[in-house]
Amino acid sequence: MKLALSLLATAAFANAHFTMQYIWDNGVDEGQNNYIRVPPNNNPVTDVTSTDLTCNVNGLSGAGVSTLSIAAGTNITFEWHQHDQRTGEDPISGGHKGPVQVYIAKAPGDASSFNGQGAVWTKIYSSGLLTANPQLWATDVVNSNGGKHSVVIPSSLPAGQYLLRAEIVRF
């Protein structure tokens, strides 16, 4: 199966200032900003009617972004940071609490030209409020894991090109 991770998109919004910067394929770091549609900055998308919510600002095209071929059942890890580096600071500001979600959409053809618009997304991962008292959110777990969270691509997924959309929603 070929999953076009070139069209990975971040949808960090509601005052969440961080971006996804690394993809790990079964524990292998694929390098900074490889296989990712990189937004121009770490500003949040706040307009819930904007097409930028799909694949972030300037993310509607995967032109110039490489694709990563993986097998169904692969463990993919997303790594997020506030700045353009691994600095040792909290990857996500401690005040940015909220759920972590991952969606997948099958491209109708070449994933690099797929804009991900419409009712094409299926949620394959979701983690939110883990404990109410003391309050522990999925973002706290991401921080404690050095900015990382993982998802296993469904083993039943048919071959083809896909977009993955990882998002962190800050309340």
Could you report the per-residue pLDDT of 108-155, keeping only the tens digit for each?
A: 988 888 888 889 999 999 999 999 999 999 999 999 999 999 999 999
The answer, as to whether pTM is greater than 0.75, is yes
- pLDDT over 50 (residue 13): no
Tell me how far apart the alpha carbons of residues 28 and 170 are, in angstroms, rounded to a whole number. Answer: 28
Considering the chain, what is the average pLDDT of its residues?
Answer: 82
Q: Are 1 and 159 in contact (CB under 8 A)?
A: yes
Of residues 64 and 7, more confidence is placed in 64
